[in-house]
Homo-oligomer: A and B are copies of this chain.
Amino acid sequence: MAVNLPPPDPKSLYPVPGVELGIAMAGIKKPNRKDLLVLRLAPGAVVAGVFTQNRFCAAPVLLAKKHLKNSVRALVVNTGNANAGTGKDGLGRALSVCAMLSKILNCKSRQILPFSTGVIMEPLPIDRIQAGLPDAVAGQASWLDAAEAIMTTDTVPKAVSRKVKLSAGEAVVTGIAKGAGMIRPDMATMLGFVATDAKVAQKTLQSIVKRVADKSFNCATVDGDTSTNDSFILMASGVGVEVRSEKDKNALEQAILEVSQKLAQAIIRDGEGATKFVTVKVERGRSEAECRKIAYSIAHSPLVKTAFFASDPNLGRILAAIGYAGVKDLDTSKVELYIDDVRVARAGGRDVQYREEQGIQAMKKPEFTVRTILNRGKAAATLWTCDLSFDYVKINAEYRT
């Protein structure tokens, strides 16, 4: 069902020196599925991250944020249970998972970052995780295995890789992510992990992670629901080539951005029930904030999303969404609207040149761009979203049961 998203070719995914992966089938929610991932980092690796702004942020997120300050040795990720909305008990369970893994790895609990994804408000089955950990530590898994081990309602594993030339040689950037529903990241996606072998300062990495998140995961929305567990983690093992100059930093950041954008777009392509991948651009606004406001208004409107699903150029719904976005002094008589290259509206109404067949033609494709031109400034914003289909309702009415 995913839109133009074939499974990743295993050969396209480069291993990252200094990052070792292991997975297990711990039976956290269902038996016989990969649901536990451990990423071990070489000594001296640095890690940076951004996390959900949801006030009900999950117990593992609280710990991961805190432990990020230390010298991180491993990440442990489970699917099947989000350990969110679980109060103090949930915090205790997340801490136990760190403790168990730290014993096996002979390090401190505070050197472990825990992550969880799945159902909210259920107690995390730590006994099952404990039983699965030795397998996950012993195994030698690929990045594709790792991508599979963090899936929930995802139908396709998401993994992307790039090589980048720095002054001292070549570095690798490989990342995985999961998504599908409750996707409207407010700092990051539900779970995104990107690793490089480059040697780079933690401070630099932290500045990169913020900028990259804003241009990748924070531009993706399936349903407007900001998850309790959003985390985007960037790791640099440091066993590879060193970042020596501003130019090196920019090259590395660009590779990380490319990987992250591909992963964020993959989440939308595999959005719950998605049949269309839609890029929403808002241009010539006064500020990026107002462009994003209007873009989110379009991308979150159930009426617009069902029209996408039906390939129905019911474009008045898009105008309505622009109109209620909350840009109080918007002069609608200046607004232009395009579907791909077809101008459908101008001067506050339908473009006289526009014929409906053009709109249908554009919207029938699995991918198209909705472009709004405000004609009141120089700022712009871009989002990626998907349609609202029968299957979105089916998946979310049936999830859990």
Could you list which residues of chain A lie within 8 angstroms of chain B, going by C-beta atoms?
Answer: 53-57, 82, 84-90, 119-123, 181-182, 184, 186, 223-228, 300-303, 306-307, 309-310, 312, 314-317, 319-325, 327-328, 330, 332-333, 345, 347-350, 388-390, 392-394, 396-401
Please list 17 pairs of residues, one from A and one from B, whose beta carbons are closer than 8 Å in the complex, sorted by A's number.
Answer: A56-B323, A57-B323, A82-B316, A84-B316, A85-B320, A85-B345, A87-B347, A121-B349, A121-B350, A224-B302, A226-B320, A302-B302, A306-B392, A307-B396, A388-B393, A390-B390, A392-B393
Given contacts A312-B400, A319-B56, contact A86 B347 (CB under 8 A): no
Would you call B319 and A224 a contact (CB within 8 A)?
no
Would you call B332 and A56 a contact (CB within 8 A)?
yes
Would you call A225 and B301 a contact (CB within 8 A)?
yes
Apart from A123-B350, A224-B300, A302-B388, 16 more pairs, CB < 8 Å? A53-B324, A55-B323, A55-B324, A55-B325, A57-B323, A82-B316, A84-B320, A85-B319, A85-B349, A88-B347, A90-B349, A121-B349, A225-B324, A303-B396, A310-B398, A390-B390
Residues of chain B with a CB closer than 8 A to A392's CB: 302, 306, 393
CA distance A394 to B224 in the complex (A): 21
User: Oligomeric state, in number of copies?
Assistant: 2
Residues of chain B with a CB closer than 8 A to A301's CB: 223-225
CA distance A400 to B85 in the complex (A): 42
* Least CB separation from A227: chain B residue: B320
Residues of chain B with a CB closer than 8 A to A396's CB: 302-303, 306-307, 310
CA distance A310 to B397 in the complex (A): 5
CA distance A119 to B314 in the complex (A): 8
Would you call A333 and B87 a contact (CB within 8 A)?
yes
Residues of chain B with a CB closer than 8 A to A388's CB: 302, 393
CA distance A309 to B393 in the complex (A): 9
CA distance A398 to B55 in the complex (A): 38
Residues of chain B with a CB closer than 8 A to A225's CB: 301-303, 317, 320-321, 324
Would you call A55 and B330 a contact (CB within 8 A)?
yes
Within the complex, what minimum Cβ distance (angstroms) separates A144 from chain B?
29
Given contacts A119-B314, A393-B388, contact A349 B319 (CB under 8 A): no
CA distance A228 to B348 in the complex (A): 12
Within the complex, what minimum Cβ distance (angstroms) separates A256 from chain B?
26
Would you call B303 and A182 a contact (CB within 8 A)?
yes
* Least CB separation from A306: chain B residue: B396
A322: which of B56, B119, B302, B397 is its contact (CB, 8 Å)? B56
Within the complex, what minimum Cβ distance (angstroms) separates A290 from chain B?
12
A324: which of B54, B319, B327, B398 is its contact (CB, 8 Å)? B54
Would you call B181 and A303 a contact (CB within 8 A)?
yes
Residues of chain B with a CB closer than 8 A to A53's CB: 324
Would you call A349 and B397 a contact (CB within 8 A)?
no
Within the complex, what minimum Cβ distance (angstroms) separates A148 from chain B?
24
In the A-B complex, the 3 residue pairs with the closest CB atoms = A120-B316, A87-B349, A56-B323
Among A82, A323, A398, A400, the most chain B Cβ lie within 10 Å of the Cβ of A323
